[in-house]
Amino acid sequence: MKEENTDIKFSEKFSLKFRKTIIVSRLFTWLMVLVFVAAFVGLNVWIQSLELPEIDVTANQLYTLSDSSKKALESVNQEIKIYIFGIQEEDSVVGLIKQYCQANENITYEMLSSETNLAKVQEFELEDGYSIVVIESGESKKIIDAGAEFHTYDYTTYAEVDTTEQTLTNSILSLSTVNKPKIYFVEGHDEFKIATDETTKAELGVLSTYLKNEAFEISSVNLTSTGRVPEDCNVLAILSPKSDFLENEAQVVLDYINKGGNLLITRDLLNQDTQLVNFQKVLDVYGVKVENGYVIETDGKYTVSNYPYVFKPQVSSSNAVTMDIASDSYMWLAYSQKLNFLPEEQLKELKVTYEELLGTTDAAMFITDFSTNVNAAAQTSQTGHFTIAAQVTKTVSGGETEEDTSDAIQSKLIIAGTGQFMTDYIVSELSNQYPLSYLGSNKDFAINAISVLSEKEGGLTIRKDMAGTSYVFTASKEQNRIVLAIIFGVPIVILLIGIIVWRQRKKRK
Give the pLDDT score at 470.
36
What confidence tens digit (pLDDT) does each residue in 272-291 have?
Answer: 788 999 999 999 999 999 99
In angstroms, what CA-CA distances link 105 with 49, 93, 177, 208, 338? 20, 19, 19, 32, 48
Identity at 145, one-letter amino acid code: D
Average pLDDT, integer, range 363-367: 93
Give the pLDDT score at 346.
97
Using a CB cutoff of 8 Å and minimum separation of 24, what contacts does 90-93 make?
90/477, 91/477, 92/62, 92/63, 92/164, 92/477, 93/133, 93/146, 93/150, 93/164
Q: Do 195 and 155 form a contact (C-beta atoms < 8 A)?
A: no
What confidence tens digit (pLDDT) does each residue in 291-335 have?
Answer: 999 999 998 899 988 899 999 999 999 999 998 888 878 999 999
Count Cβ neighbours within 10 Å for each residue of 328-360 and write b for 16 or more, e otherwise: ebebbbbbbbbbebbeeeebeeebbebebbbbb
3-state secondary structure of 283: helix
What phi and psi, each to the nearest 5 degrees, are found at residue 365?
Answer: -125, 150
Categorize the per-residue pLDDT at 365 as very low, low, confident or very high, splitting at 50, 70 and 90. very high
Cβ neighbours of residue 168 under 8 Å, at least 6 residues apart? 96, 97, 100, 133, 135, 144
Could you say which DSSP state residue 19 is in?
I
User: Where do the DSSP E strands lie in 272-329?
Assistant: 288-291, 294-296, 303-304, 307-311, 314-315
- Indicate the helix (H) or strand (E) that contains 244: none
Cα distance between residue 300 and residue 90, in whole Å? 47
Percent of the chain with pLDDT over 90: 46
What confidence tens digit (pLDDT) does each residue in 4-21 have?
Answer: 455 556 666 656 665 555
Q: Do 477 and 92 form a contact (C-beta atoms < 8 A)?
A: yes
What confidence tens digit (pLDDT) does each residue in 383-395 have?
Answer: 999 999 999 999 9
Give the pLDDT score at 160.
66
Give the pLDDT score at 471.
34
Could you tell me the pTM of the whole model? Answer: 0.68
Mean pLDDT across the chain: 82
Nearest partner of 64 among 106, 105, 86, 97, judged by Cα: 97
Report whether pLDDT(336) > 70: yes
Most confidently modeled of 274-278, 368-372, 434-438? 274-278
Sequence length of the chain is 509
Give the pLDDT score at 433.
83
Tell me which of 163 and 468 has the higher pLDDT.
163
Categorize the per-residue pLDDT at 230 as very low, low, confident or very high, splitting at 50, 70 and 90. very high
Sign of CA dihedral 288, 290, 291, 296: positive
Nearest partner of 435 among 467, 472, 462, judged by Cα: 467
Average pLDDT, integer, range 428-439: 88
Could you say which DSSP state residue 343 is in?
P
Largest Cα separation within the chain, whole Å, is: 117
